[in-house]
Structure 1
């Protein structure tokens, strides 16, 4: 049940191996928006999205691809630091990606000059994963842990799992833990128990 999605390879340090940005239909407009940095108003963009949805990973890919500069967790940085970075982007013409962890419309700026400038920036939001992307996320997280989720397990999970990046990651972590604890392969029974544990914790 491998989804017909694509991946963007993102090389990290050898200690961490390599991660892939999994791209499905729901994420493709965000990728397209990030690649069009020279068309952004004021050469700046605010990227928001749910927890564990890959905002920081996308920021690292954006910089590694030489598409521009990025400030991860920009909503938590001193406002004068963000303001100076915005001014540098205007002076250099180099796109600036600002990662907003607070959520769309939740970044509260007290510096008036910064607030007015950010208000004119491009805004992109990572949406919940569509079914194709959710399959690929489950398979990607499983592959990083050396797990193989078969078609039967994926078919069981898809109608039942919460449609979120964080849920996919947490579920695979739980499947891996149960498999190690029981010294057992990934079966429907094990997957069902993992799903019950994750749902019971929420």
Structure 2
């Protein structure tokens, strides 16, 4: 496990956002350090919402390894094709960020270029990565979440980056609202607010 600190600060109380590296994205981080090996010097990155695609794009662009096009599925396909052509002409590696696969591209030339590029996909975090992600999200908010929280929360939480982000935000909200440290009573209340008291979350 590891983390990549971004060179850009967020509005969070705790400091700059960090990319937690684990089973779901280690292969992506490795690939982004070797753009010279990409077919057509292009990689297409997809994955679940809030899984760190945009953060990885910012890190890649800031590293000087190439250019990134975020939220590419929302762009006009002709414009995206022109961006690809310009990157090819300049010899600049291009990281294209999509949403969740599959990506239905209707422009034949663009479909063929994207299909021939390196395909990268972020998966779901395992226990170790989810625990690191939970603590990192809390740290970004300046939320003093004790390590024991991981053992209590993870078996009862949905296992996705987006769900863990919502959980940390709810713990933070309740802790501020009640002017109370984020301990067991707050953890339990946050889970109940998100899932209801009677819904079993044990995995």
Specify the SS of the correspondent of 2:156: coil
Would you say 1:26 and 2:55 are equivalent positions?
Answer: no
1:200 is aligned to: 196
2:155 is aligned to: 159
TM-score w.r.t. structure 1 length?
0.90
Partners of 2:194 and 2:51 in 1: CA distance: 18
Does the Cα contact within 8 Å between 2:157 and 2:163 map onto a contact in 1? yes
Specify the SS of the correspondent of 1:176: helix
Does the Cα contact within 8 Å between 2:67 and 2:95 map onto a contact in 1? yes
Deviates more, 1:152-161 or 1:9-18: 9-18
Cα deviations by residue, 1:78-121 (Å, 9 ceiling, x for unpaired)? 111111111122222221000102x111x222211111111111
Would you say 1:47 and 2:42 are equivalent positions?
Answer: no
Partners of 1:25 and 1:128 in 2: CA distance: 8
Partners of 1:146 and 1:186 in 2: CA distance: 11
Specify the SS of the correspondent of 2:196: helix
Would you say 1:144 and 2:158 are equivalent positions?
Answer: no
Cα distance 1:14–1:112, how it changes in 2: closer, same or farther (>3 A)? closer
Structure 2 unaligned runs (5+)? none
Partners of 1:108 and 1:122 in 2: CA distance: 17
Would you say 1:125 and 2:121 are equivalent positions?
Answer: yes
Does the Cα contact within 8 Å between 1:152 and 1:188 map onto a contact in 2? no
1:77 is aligned to: 75
> Post-superposition shift, 1:15?
5.8
Partners of 2:11 and 2:147 in 1: CA distance: 31
Cα distance 1:141–1:15, how it changes in 2: closer, same or farther (>3 A)? closer
Does the Cα contact within 8 Å between 1:56 and 1:72 map onto a contact in 2? yes
> Post-superposition shift, 1:26?
2.7
Partners of 2:19 and 2:104 in 1: CA distance: 29
TM-score w.r.t. structure 2 length?
0.90
Partners of 1:59 and 1:53 in 2: CA distance: 12
Structure 1 unaligned runs (5+)? none
> Post-superposition shift, 1:168?
1.0
Identify the match of residue 134 of structure 1 among 121, 130, 133: 130
2:101 is aligned to: 104
> Post-superposition shift, 1:13?
4.7
Query: Which runs of structure 1 show a deviation greater than 4 angstroms over 4 or more consecutive aligned residues?
Result: 13-17
Cα deviations by residue, 1:13-38 (Å, 9 ceiling, x for unpaired)? 57665211111233211111222211
Number of equivalenced pairs: 196
